[in-house]
Structure 1
């Protein structure tokens, strides 16, 4: 996700796309790249606790990074964006 220039404009566009392409509530798949760090992985997982999320992790070949895929059913596009913003506060995490 390219948030460098204008994050609010990015999220506005994402919300419009989500509203146009999905009927809510709907499943949503998040993908993140995390430096190999159990604490950061746990922080991400904690943000999706009690939402019925299915979380899959794969360690990179070199062991330096972990890809985290989170499949979760959410109520509306605002919740999708809220979760991206929460994960964005965790240093070193890349959202795909």
Structure 2
């Protein structure tokens, strides 16, 4: 996912797309790329703690970056967006896909 110049406009479009394409509650797959640092991976894991999330990580070939996939059941598009914003504000250097 790439943010436009106006994050609120981006999230509004995402919310509309999520409403149109899924029946809620549903399983949602988050994908992030972060610099390979244990603290950052732990922050993401902590944000999804106690939600029953299945989290997988994979380092890039050179080990500089790590992809983090989070598969979790979400109530509605609003809860999906709340998590994206929480990650963006708490994990420096994160790229959301």
TM-score bucket (shorter structure): over 0.9
CA-atom RMSD, angstroms? Answer: 0.7
1:19-50 deviation per Cα after TM superposition (whole angstroms, max 9, x unaligned): 01111000000000010100000000100001
Partner of 1:45: 45
Separation in structure 1 between the aligned mates of residue 44 and residue 17 of structure 2, nearest angstrom: 24
1:31-78 deviation per Cα after TM superposition (whole angstroms, max 9, x unaligned): 000101000000001000011000000011101010000000000000
The answer for unaligned runs of 5 or more in structure 2 is none
The answer for unaligned runs of 5 or more in structure 1 is none
Separation in structure 1 between the aligned mates of residue 48 and residue 23 of structure 2, nearest angstrom: 21
Partner of 1:85: 85
1:11-50 matched pairs, under 5 angstroms = 11-50=11-50
Moved over 4 A (4+): none
Q: How many pairs align?
A: 96
Q: TM-score, normalised by structure 2?
A: 0.96
**SS state of the match for residue 23, structure 1?**
coil
